[in-house]
Chains A and B, each alone.
Chain A
Amino acid sequence: MFIRSKAALAFAIPALVTGLAACGDDGDTAAKSTPNAPAAGGGQATGEVNVYSSLPLQGASKDQTNAMVDGIKLALEQADSKAGGVTVKYESLDDSTAQAGTWDPNQVASNARKVAQDRKAVAYIGEFNSGASALSIPILNQVGIAQISPANTAVGLTTNEPGSEKGEPQKYQPTGKKTYSRIVPRDTIQGAALVTQMKSDGCTKVGVANDKEVYGAGLARLIEIKAKEQNLTITSNAGIQKDAANFRGVASKLKSEGADCFVFAGVTANGGIQIYKDVAAALPDAKLYGPDGVCESGFTNPEKKGIPESVGKRFKCTVATLDLTSYPGGQQFLKAFSEAYDEDNPDPYAIYGYEAMRLVLDTIEAAGQAGTTREGFLAQLFKTKDRDSVLGTYSIDENGDTTLTDYGLYTVGPDGDPKYESTIKAAS
């Protein structure tokens, strides 16, 4: 599902000025999209709509989510809060609590209900965590509000492919209509990417642990499936009690199984730091891997109370974000972001926040007057095809999934934050 780090750092911002088609000089740079969308109606649409985001702005993921909010605001500012003639108002909601240090079920439901009751609301950008979206999707589905997640990866939110649970994704769609979509590739691809990487690093026996949440348990199942396909042995897949004082028992089990690599499918807040420390100690030679749930500075950086440097040196992780400069519209996005926020090296998730809002704005504009209604917006969103965006060209398929498939491989950089290494092209 999401998460990740202040990875951007160490980005060699330079180079890579891929011929990025220029855009407006004021920064309306990126995304001009939805080319084949019908310009509904005759004259320019008018009116006012509300758009919300719901992200965990506190806790281990805050670097990523606050960057996303900045990206969302940047897109809106560039468009002067207009989608065609329609005025767009945006409000950022927090789905976390200080107490939980991550998303909180009550807060998620409260945010979704608030938006559901707003007659002018047409779109909801969120959540960051798949487990959270599992709660908000049904609430928004019942009132027909389109939801766009800039970070969810759990496979069952959109499909019943292997890795999903029984009843998914129908249980999230009480009306039977699809209202949820996402702009990051799902875990089917991340699972394959992780397995591909582990195999190429020489792993032979991989121990897996998961935090038993929608995202972690689903990803762990996918890793098992993909490992089987690629003939990589999984020694065990253990669900953990996330608030246990330590996981030395789990680690000694992995040791007795002879694991030479370890991956934790879960998020930082669910015992992530402790389990890596304990496994690293019990298996001093094992390579350590993590998904986007732990690929964030709050996990990797000792200065931010993350794992120690000695463990970080053995750790690699995957995230749906790439080096910002690797994106087709990355350079221009960086320039605009830097001008707006005086931040040259934003977390890569900023671009997903930006693209989510661009998608909303372009969808409203493309739908014409119908874009000011929930039904019209939703119908138009699912018509997104070959959209030319800052992330590259993609479509939203009939399940609500993006057709993008790239995952980034990260290590821990000298500053302790995740550092982009390469793009993994994993076949789903």
Chain B
Amino acid sequence: MATTDAPPLPSAAAPARNIFAELLSKYGLFAVLLALPVFYGIKDLRDQGDLSPLATNIFQGLSNGSIWALIAVGYTLVYGIIELINFAHGENFMIGSFVSAGLWGTLGLTLATGPLGLVLGLLLTLIVAMVTCGSLNVMIEKVAYRPLRSAPKLAPLITAVGFSFILQNVGLLWLGGSPAGVPDLLRAQDEVATIIGIRVQRADILAILVTIPLVIAMVTFINKSRLGKAMRATAQDPDAARLQGINVDTTISLTFLIGGMLAGAAGLIYALYQTTIWFFQGFQAGLIAFTAAVMGGIGNLKGAVLGGLIIGVIQQISDSRIGSEWTPAIVFGYLVLVMVFRPQGLIGEETREAG
């Protein structure tokens, strides 16, 4: 009896284990991502009977995260095409903020400026910031990356770090070492409306209204336009692309131009949104945005946006519920878990190796 009963035991346990492992790999990621919101959602319901505090956290997180998303798109764009982590991207974004704030001064934009002057002034600032940062990025590519295209991968990585520090020092010389308040031109934290208990501020509208169209335009450009197709072809196989008559150097320059322009736009929005800028903001934001790009799936534009938004929400929940001092640990804890469950990122990589 004993001998006849024994065999089924392991075979029954094995499927159970398999099913568990399968469930874990299939839904573990969702469980991880939803852990914080669900926990605090239940807490809110129990404590005050509605979910408005959690909804506020999530909304503010999406608003913050959309700026990270804008920067992350620049990282992921460049990584997707030449598989280089452009460390100088964060600093380029910082320069975007500095150029914007400087231009406000030159144009005389102040809190007293009327709506028309403000719109025109900010539009001009946006163009200047985008052109400056785009050109800067193209210049960096030409000087520091292109000559090293066939060099070992560590070489351009180091030049990227080098440029990052150079730009950081430019920022330091420009505005000094302390965070600097800039005019709150949009009265960023004025309340526009309260919707189901969520306080919507001007800054939130600005961040979301600028980020979504820009990202949609970017995705459309890359998917539909001729140049976008050239970019994708270059990303997949530069040699084959060259054989098809694509000018790879120009395509790569274009990628850096677009990435830089996005950084410039993000720089302006950041200055309007936070109303405080400093030379180190690029390092912080760059680190978060790079994390977002990896979390979403490096090389994948939609992944970068998703990663940025998720990190924004995690930060906000952590800041408001757990404690601001724990936020970096929680964000990176999340990154580790996401990577464990999905090494290719939430939406999947789009790189040469990933195909």
> Is B319 part of the contact surface with A, judged by Cβ < 8 Å?
yes
Q: In the complex, are the beta carbons of A253 and B320 less than 8 A apart?
A: yes
> Is A200 part of the contact surface with B, judged by Cβ < 8 Å?
no
Q: Choose among A58, A249, A274 the residue that contacts B318 (Cβ–Cβ < 8 A).
A: A249
Q: Choose among B60, B176, B284, B323 the residue that contacts A245 (Cβ–Cβ < 8 A).
A: B284
Per the 8 Å Cβ criterion, residues 265-301 of A in contact with B are: 268-269, 271, 273-274, 277-278, 281-282, 298
Q: In the complex, are the beta carbons of A98 and B276 less than 8 A apart?
A: no
Interface of B is mostly: helix
Q: Choose among B178, B270, B274, B315 the residue that contacts A59 (Cβ–Cβ < 8 A).
A: B178
B interface, size bucket? 35 or more
Q: In the complex, are the beta carbons of B316 and A248 less than 8 A apart?
A: yes
Q: In the complex, are the beta carbons of B181 and A241 less than 8 A apart?
A: no
Q: Choose among A102, A238, A244, A246 the residue that contacts B177 (Cβ–Cβ < 8 A).
A: A102
Q: In the complex, are the beta carbons of A250 and B319 less than 8 A apart?
A: yes
Min CB distance, B200 to chain A, in Å?
Answer: 13
Residue of B nearest to A305 (CB): B180
Using Cβ atoms and an 8 Å threshold, which residues of chain B touch A241? 324-325, 327-328
Using Cβ atoms and an 8 Å threshold, which residues of chain B touch A269? 177-179
For the complex, what is the distance from the CA of A240 to the CA of B328, rounded to whole Å?
A: 11
Min CB distance, A250 to chain B, in Å?
Answer: 5
Using Cβ atoms and an 8 Å threshold, which residues of chain B touch A249? 57, 60, 315-320, 324
Known: A59-B176, A248-B60. A240 touches B325 (CB 8 A): yes
Proximity bits, A205-241, B CB within 8 Å = 1, else 0? 0000000100000000000000000000000001111
Proximity bits, A401-419, B CB within 8 Å = 1, else 0? 0000000000000000000
Q: In the complex, are the beta carbons of B324 and A278 less than 8 A apart?
A: no
Q: In the complex, are the beta carbons of A238 and B172 less than 8 A apart?
A: no
Residue of B nearest to A248 (CB): B60
Proximity bits, B42-54, A CB within 8 Å = 1, else 0? 0000000000010
Min CB distance, B187 to chain A, in Å?
Answer: 9
- Give the interface of B toward A (CB within 8 A): 53, 56-57, 60, 64, 67, 172, 175-184, 188-190, 201, 270, 273-276, 278, 280-281, 284-285, 315-321, 323-325, 327-328
- Give the interface of A toward B (CB within 8 A): 58-60, 96-102, 212, 238-241, 243-250, 252-253, 256, 268-269, 271, 273-274, 277-278, 281-282, 298, 302, 305-308
Q: List 9 A-B contacts (CB under 8 A).
A: A58-B176, A60-B178, A102-B177, A241-B324, A245-B274, A248-B64, A248-B316, A249-B319, A277-B181
